A = this chain, B = another copy of it.
Amino acid sequence: MAGTPRKKTIKAAPKAAPAPRAADSVNRVYAAIQRMAVNFEFRPEQRINEVELAATLGVSRTPVREALNRLVIEGLITLVPNKGFYCRPFDAEQIIGLFEVRASLERLSVELAAERASDVRIAELMDFWNGVRANRAAMDAEELTSRDEEFHIRIAAMGGNPELVRMLESINARIRFVRRIEIENPQRRTTTFDEHLAIAEALKARDRGRAVACMSDHIGISVADAVSAMKEGLARIYMGRMAS
């Protein structure tokens, strides 16, 4: 091992290196596959071909498998031993179940925020949402879904419980597909703006009970609409993107 001119010449020589360097592929790959799974770019229950996916992403199977293993725990991918990784099923009951859990956590979220958030953070929240509201005409459903999630996550973050934030983010990823379709509905979109403002007002007033009530109403309506959104979602997955 002595006189090994370790890195130096090595780096310089392979100008047209075949497989040059290693970075943190896993995180890139993880993010990429996560996005695909969230958006159901894999069909439900479809087997995910590792070699193909690895080729698409320009890496070997190793980081792909590590990323897939993470996504299994996240509930975005399932694993059947000796068969492979599969896209999660499109399971209406499961989605309803996630909405149910989410409602519970969002309740905790506003309770904690009402108790612990600083006035400044609450003011920022209102500014943020008023800004979104002002720009709403320029936003498509994707962007608006993102802002909607951000609104909720901000409230969770104000409660000072990072685990709560993590779990909500995880749930959001799994129901985003449905929520985006919900938000496409113009009427639903309008009520969302009002409901968010009502929640923010209640927080500003430190009215914990009202905040919880507003949040419950808000999420409750979501669940009601989710069913029709899921139908539409199924159509898009299996029939392509033309619709609305």
Contacts and interface: CB of A to CB of B under 8 A. Distances in A.
A105 interface: yes
A166 interface: yes
Interface in A139-177: 161-164, 166-167
Is the contact region of chain A dominated by helix, strand, or loop, or is it mixed?
Answer: helix
A66 B61 CA distance: 12
A74 interface: yes
Nearest to A62: B62
Contacts of A62: 62
Contacts of A185: none
Interface string A65-96: 11101101111000001100000000000100
A52 interface: no
A179 interface: no
Contacts of A164: 97, 100-101
Nearest to A74: B73
A98 to B, nearest CB: 5
A104 interface: yes
A112 B104 CA distance: 11
B161 A69 contact: no
A163 B67 CA distance: 21
A55 B100 CA distance: 43
A166 B72 CA distance: 13
Nearest to A66: B69
Contact of A98 (B69, B73, B74, B163): B163
A107 interface: yes
B163 A97 contact: yes
Given A101-B108, A104-B105, 13 more contacts: A24-B82, A26-B69, A62-B62, A66-B69, A67-B69, A70-B70, A73-B73, A73-B74, A97-B163, A98-B163, A101-B105, A104-B104, A104-B108
Task: Identify the 10 closest CB pairs spanning chains A and B, nearest first.
Answer: A104-B108, A73-B73, A97-B161, A97-B163, A66-B69, A24-B81, A70-B73, A69-B69, A69-B70, A104-B104
22 contacts: A24-B81, A24-B82, A27-B81, A62-B62, A65-B66, A67-B69, A69-B70, A70-B70, A70-B72, A73-B73, A97-B161, A97-B162, A97-B164, A98-B163, A100-B108, A100-B161, A101-B105, A101-B108, A101-B161, A101-B167, A104-B104, A104-B108
